[in-house]
Structure formats: C-alpha cells, structure tokens
Structure 1
Amino acid sequence: MKKWLSFILVFTMLLMLVTACGQQTPAPTTAAPTTAPTEAPTEAETTTFGLTPFTEKQTLRVGFFTGSPLSYPFLFADKLGYFEELNIELVYEPFTNGPAMMESNAAWDIASCGL
C-alpha cells in the first residue's frame, strides 16, 4: 500500500512539474478594436488618482517605526503634495517598539505605515 501511495505521489509531482514547465502555445492575437481617442487626463486627475478631495480638512495620524524605510511611501507622498491636494493633513507618530504601535492600531487610533 505504501509503495502505491509513493508511486501516485511521485507521479503526481512529475505531472505537475511537466505541466508547469511545459511550453505553452501563445493565444492567437486579434486586432484591437478601434475607438475614438480619449482626452488626456488633467494634471489634477493624475495627482489625485481619480479620488475626490475632501471638502473639509481631514487629519490622519500615521504611525511609523523610527529609522525604518517602510514609512517612505507616506513621506514621499506627503512631500510631493498628494495629501494636501486631497485635503488631508498627516500627523506623524513615531514608535520605537512594536507593542505600543500594535496597541494603537488595535484601538483604531492610528494608521500603520509599513508591512
């Protein structure tokens, strides 16, 4: 019984290997349908990414670990003015350890920055 189970397992693994590494034939290409040219997005649309800015100023508290590069996306977006265009004010809250940051996240008091 063990030999049959081993044989089936090895056969299945080999079948998966052949299937995964096998050469696939490319799908036939068809011509793209022609459509009327669309207008280029305005500068405001490209920097707000299609989001509607808030009517009133909103404050977002962002927690980050000091010295960690995981907070760079928020920092860069703030320095480039993306949050200002969306009428969002960022308040940075530095943390030096994980438990304090997790406690703030659990209380929904702060947004975390990073992975």
Structure 2
Amino acid sequence: MLGNFQQSHLRIEIDAPEAAIRESLLHSSQLRQWLWPQRLSAGLPERLETGLNFTSWVGPIAIAHQVDLAEPYCLRLLLSQGIDGFHEWMWGEGWVQSRIEGITALPLGLGQTLSLLRLKQHLASRQPT
C-alpha cells in the first residue's frame, strides 16, 4: 500500500438524540444522504450488520469495507484497498466520536472532519423546527 500511516480522533457535540445518530450511521439509506462525495456500492441491505462487505468510492479510489462490529452505540469498519486500516464510530445522546487509522495517500483527517460536519448538518436538517 502506498501512502503514509495516518490517524485521527475527533469527537463533536450534535444536537440530536442518540437514536437519530444511530440510524444515520447504521442505515445505508441514511449513509447515502450525508456521506457525499463518497459513494456506496449498490445493493446494500438497509441496515449494516457485522460481517457485511461493501465498497465505497472517493472519486476514482475504491475503499473496501468490512463491518467488523455493528452495535447500538458502535460501528467499526475494517478498510482495505484505498485505505488499509479501520474506521470506528461511537455515539450517544448529543455526541459522536470518530476514530480512523490507516495507511493511505488520501488526507484522512480532512475527510473525517468533512464527514462529521456533513453528519451534523444532516441531523440538524432532520430536527423539527
């Protein structure tokens, strides 16, 4: 794998209930809405489950994902191809934390920050006004 070892850990507050955060992270239809510009492979089941394999693309770069853990408060993805490493999400009432580590030429910290901001924006748009 070409690239450098990178790691990033971010935690942000989100004005959303834990159930809405969980749905946005574990349901593929929700992921597709906020994960842009990353694209997910077709044919994903509605809910991510342990053992599921799928691919996403950032532009022309494919990233293979294996769902290592899908629990009520945690999602851990093992990554290969464009990133060799893992991405772990943890959440609770009003917060979400993302930890990513891997070898890649992609800017992991920037991508992680943008993903968290898009998730926060997505959840804010779902809140009743």
Range of TM-score over shorter length? under 0.3
The structure whose RCO (Cα within 8 Å, separation 6+) is larger is 2
TM-score by length of 1: 0.24
Q: Which of the two has higher C-alpha Rg? A: 1
Q: Indicate the structure with greater helix content.
A: 1
Q: Indicate the structure with greater strand content.
A: 2
